[in-house]
Amino acid sequence: MTDHLPERVSLWTLATAFLKLGTIAFGGPAAHIALMEEEFVRRRQWLTQQEFLDRLGAANLIPGPSSTEMAIYIGYTKRGWPGLIVAGCCFIIPAAILVCAIAAAYVRYGSMPRVGGVLYALKPVVIAVVLQAFWKLARSAVKTVWLGALGIAAAALSFFQADSLLVLAGAGLLAGLPVLLGKFKSKSATTAALIWLNTSLPLRPRVLLTTTALTTTAAASGLAAMPFSLWRLFLTFLKIGSVLFGSGYVLLAFLRSDFVLRLHWLTEKQLLDSVAVGQVTPGPVFTTATFIGYLVGGIPGAAVATLAIFLPGFLLVAVSGPLIPRIRRSPLAGAILDGVIVASLALMGVVTWQLGRAALIDPLTIAIAVVSAVLLFRWQVNAAWLILAAGIVGVIHGS
């Protein structure tokens, strides 16, 4: 299957679509991807289901924030290089501005704003939105029994915290086996691949740093902080954006290693507050960098940190974007991509399960999730309205 010729859209239309998403996209990468599927596959029909899935698979194979890279892929598909820049920037900018405002209040008052009531009601809606997108994407992605089996295996490995990149790579290689067997009529390829999968997917403990474990600060250790410079800030976040795969826990580990232990620019409390801001605001979780940049360098620091951590994603999408249609035209490469896609959806499903356990904690949150799911599945209500309604319920509940 080849990509259809994309309908040309204006840069203004592209910008407004992603500004809206960047403003309402609470809940992390899985929720962001679900909202993009609703907006660009079902409502605007800018992409087919298969094209969306192809770009989801590619986004999961490169380092950086997968949902932001999905935005960049979609922009590139519709308008090339200008669209790539506009879509990515407009998805990031609303969150970056909000995080800057929170950082300014944090610096002035020394505490985080209270948003618990709003998040309490938003999380169940996010679960329903992700479930709807997962169901629709999985129906398109699982084309064969073999792909279904690979998806189940990938979900099981992810549930037990296997390395996500190895899960994706293993699923891709195994999905390509039927094509290889058809070409070479050799059973040895299956055996070799199964042996490789068995030996190459070690279970890795989750990187989780609790407040109890995070007790060392620069002041307590007596170590002097390295001199601050925007250039050093830029290089540090550029490195993180270039090599980071994984969840917010992995991001926390990278940030602690650089900003607390090596540079001594942050205390442990400031680091945890920074990560919390990235998780409770809409848009990319990587706007944690914006908060840290503001704390250490004001508005210039926030701008430099934001640019540095997202820049690798833009460059990687620019390089890989033109290759996706070619990959799909190759039977072997297309089969490998199908395997990566079902593994990506498996990871998304496991994340949704974990989020659901944390979000559905009492009768009210369960009721919000059920009502949202019914409205989404039965009447295809726009998720933006559900998010707005949940926010109102959260404010009332928290008051």
List per-residue pLDDT tens for the chain, 399 residues long: 444 445 678 999 999 999 999 998 887 788 899 999 999 998 999 999 999 999 999 988 888 888 899 999 999 999 999 999 999 999 999 999 999 998 998 888 766 666 667 768 888 888 888 888 889 888 889 999 999 999 999 999 988 878 787 888 899 999 998 887 776 554 454 454 444 445 444 444 333 333 333 333 344 444 566 888 999 999 999 999 887 875 555 677 788 888 988 899 998 888 877 877 877 788 888 898 999 999 999 999 999 999 999 999 999 999 998 888 888 888 888 999 999 999 888 888 887 888 788 889 899 999 999 999 999 888 888 887 888 888 888 888 876
Tokens read off for 73: 């892929």
Tokens read off for 329: 């035209």
Coil vs helix vs strand at 223: coil
CA dist 74 and 81 (Å) reads 11
Helix then strand then coil, % of the chain, to nearest 5:
80, 0, 20
Q: Output the pLDDT for position 61.
A: 84
Q: Output the pLDDT for position 114.
A: 63
Q: Output the pLDDT for position 195.
A: 45
Q: Output the pLDDT for position 7.
A: 65
Coil vs helix vs strand at 203: strand
What's the first-to-final CA gap in the chain, in angstroms? 53
Nearest one of 99, 49, 91, 50 to 70, comparing CA atoms:
91
CA dist 373 and 131 (Å) reads 8
Q: Output the pLDDT for position 65.
A: 86
Q: Output the pLDDT for position 234.
A: 96
CA distances from 378 to 32, 280, 370, 371 (A): 21, 29, 12, 10
Q: Output the pLDDT for position 246.
A: 56
Query: Under 8 Å CB-to-CB from 76, ≥6 apart: which residues?
Result: 83, 84, 87, 317, 318, 321
Token pair 């299957």: residue: 1
Report the predicted TM-score, pTM, of the whole model to 2 decimal places: 0.75
